[in-house]
Structures are given as structure tokens and as C-alpha cells.
Amino acid sequence: MPSASQEWHLVKRPVGRPAAGDFRLVERALPLPGDNEVLVRNTYLSMDPYMRALMGAAEADIPSYQLDRPMTGGAVGEVVESRAAGLAPGDLVLSDLGWRTAAVADAGRFIRLRRVEGVPDSAFLGVLGMPGLSAYVGLIEIAGLREGETVFVSGAAGAVGSLAGQIARLRGAKAVIGSAGSDEKVKYLTGELGFTAAFNYKDGSVHEQLRRAAPTGVDVYFDNVGGDHLEAAIDALKPHGRVALCGAISGYNATEPPPGPRNMVDLVKKRLTLRGFEVGDHAALQPQFVRETSNWLVDNRITFRETVEDGIGNAVNAFLGLMYGRNTGKMLVRI
């Protein structure tokens, strides 16, 4: 039974790309669980791009990590000791008490998970978790994907993008085009994931590569990247095209606000709709999403990959790896 937890603290707010020296691994004794509390040993930690935003200074209604305090993030773990009704030793749970090996906290901080046969526990941080729901919500609710449409997904080999492309295919898209940062990832998209076409955005202009991949234009763009990808997509969108603005990772380490797309007037001319969303606002869709996605997984109609770093000591490396494109599929730390 763990009597201490190793946990990562942010000790310095990064300027630009975060560096290892901005973080410190700290060991802390754990109290015994009190009334309605549980002791949980984490087994997988989620590494997510949004964490970069939490490393900056807090603004009006934007939260941030406190310095010299344990960071938070998605985690799955196993209940070791419980003094709460409804949670028993051995239960698999999801929490936001990541970036640490173990935690003692109020039972309300944990959601009990029901395992899906043949699917690893780590999937609750990826394909069956927050990234998967983001893909589902973005395509279906926000962009309103319809059968027969052409879809472009950026960041397509990542946790959200790889599912967005597959859901588009399963929901009847005529063509699904993806962009990613290496030739290996491009092969993964058109091979294993069934994208119609894909390109390496580091090989040349996104604008030209997208035009070649979608010569008749795009109906829906699922944006994970922003910047030049968004500008190229606005150019390639057909009249009345829709964009689900999920993220803009190309600007997350910028020290100045990146310039906006230069072709904003096309939004008017082509009557385009660009709509941002936060997955947390769409929790009501979670049961429908888990049901539909679990069926696709069990029937082998979708597939997923994970990039797993071992040990709490490698969590910062794993997080930094997201910024360098070291992950294919979901980036995780196994404890």
C-alpha cells in the first residue's frame, strides 16, 4: 500500500517552449484516508496539450497551475483503500489527480469506470475518454457532419485527430484528408486508419498540399493546429463550409499572439461557419459517445494507438514530446 506519492510540481512559468527545469519531482507522505476518502494508485497518466495553457499565469477566468503545488491532469488508477460508499479496493477509477503516483482524496474526485472487454484501461484517457469525446463532439455536434461530405483533419495522427478521421469515415464522409508531421504518420493515416489522402505538413505549403489532396474543396475542417492550417482550410472550404475549432497547437508556445488568418474576408464571401468548443461543455453526450465508440472498437471498425512512456520520472519528457510530435495516438505515462 503506497504511503507516499511522487508528484510533479511546476516551479517556473515557461516562456515559449517549456523546459525540464520548469518542473520538479517531489515526494510527499500520504495521509490515511479519512471519512468518505479513498487511496488510489495511479496506473496511467494522461499528457495533454491543454496543460501548456495551465502553465501560464492565471487570467480573469482562465485557471492555471499553482507554482510548487502538484499539477493536475487526467489519470486512471486503482482504488487501494476506501472509506467511501460505492468505491471498493480494486475498482478502476478516473480522476484529474494526474502527474502523481498516488493520491488520497474525497470520493467525489473519482469516477468509477466499467471495463470494456478487450480494451485496455488506458483507453479511458484516449479513445474512450476526453480526446475521443472531443473528436465526436467536434465532428457531430459542432461541425454537423453529413453523409457524402469531404472532411479535412489536422493533427490527424494524434489522440483527437486519429479518432476524428475514423468517425468521419464511419459517419459516411465521402473523403477524409489528414495532415501530420512525419511520413510515417502519413502512412499510418492512409494505411491503418483508412484516411482517403494525407500529407506531411513539413514537406511544403499546407495550402498547396491541401489543394492537391482535395481538388474539389472541403465541406468540414476539424482544426487541431490553427495557424497556416486554418488559413489553408479557409481557402479550401466550399461555400457554406463549417469548421470545428478544437485547438491551435501551432501557437501554444508562442511568446506573442500569432497573427490570424489573412483570408478572413472569405468567411463572408463563402458564408463559412467557424465554431469553437470546449469538450467539458458536452458531458451530456458522454454515454452516447462511449456506447457508440465501444461498439466500433469491439467490432474492429476503429483502431487506436498509444505512445507510452514508463515511470513517473518520464512524465515531463512525455509532455514535452507532444510539442515535438513524438506521439502517435494518445500520449501516456505508465506508472
Q: Which residues bind ligand NDP (CB under 6 A)?
A: 48-50, 131, 134, 155, 157-161, 180-182, 185, 224-225, 246-250, 277-279, 322-323, 325, 327, 331
Q: Within the chain, how many helices (H) and strands (E) appear? A: 9, 15
CB of 68 to ligand NDP, least distance (A): 25
CB of 335 to ligand NDP, least distance (A): 20
Cα separations in angstroms, 178 against 99, 115, 187: 31, 31, 11
Alpha carbon distance 177, 175 (integer Å): 7
Q: Which is nearer to ligand NDP, 9 or 330 (CB)?
A: 330
CB of 261 to ligand NDP, least distance (A): 15
**Could you give the angle at the alpha carbon of 162 between the alpha carbons of 117 and 92, nearest 5°?**
35
Q: Which is nearer to ligand NDP, 76 or 160 (CB)?
A: 160
Q: Which is nearer to ligand NDP, 218 or 331 (CB)?
A: 331
For 71-102, the three-class secondary structure string (H helix, E strand, C coil) is CCECEEEEEEEECCCCCCCCCEEEECECCECE
Q: Which residues contact 58 (CB under 8 A, 6 or more apart)?
A: 64
Q: Which is nearer to ligand NDP, 87 or 230 (CB)?
A: 230
Pairing of strands 110-112, 150-153: unpaired
Question: Which SS3 state, helix, strand or coil, does residue 199 take?
Answer: strand
Q: Which is nearer to ligand NDP, 81 or 203 (CB)?
A: 203
CB of 97 to ligand NDP, least distance (A): 19
Alpha carbon distance 243, 222 (integer Å): 6
User: Could you identify the residue written with the cell 510533479?
Assistant: 8
Q: Which is nearer to ligand NDP, 101 or 250 (CB)?
A: 250
Whether residue 332 contacts residue 98, with contact meaning beta carbons closer than 8 Å, is answered with no
Q: The C-alpha cell of 35 is what? A: 471519512
CB of 2 to ligand NDP, least distance (A): 28
Q: Which is nearer to ligand NDP, 33 or 330 (CB)?
A: 330
CB of 219 to ligand NDP, least distance (A): 20
Q: How many CB atoms lie within 10 A of CB 208?
A: 12
CB of 269 to ligand NDP, least distance (A): 27
Q: The C-alpha cell of 129 is what? A: 475518454
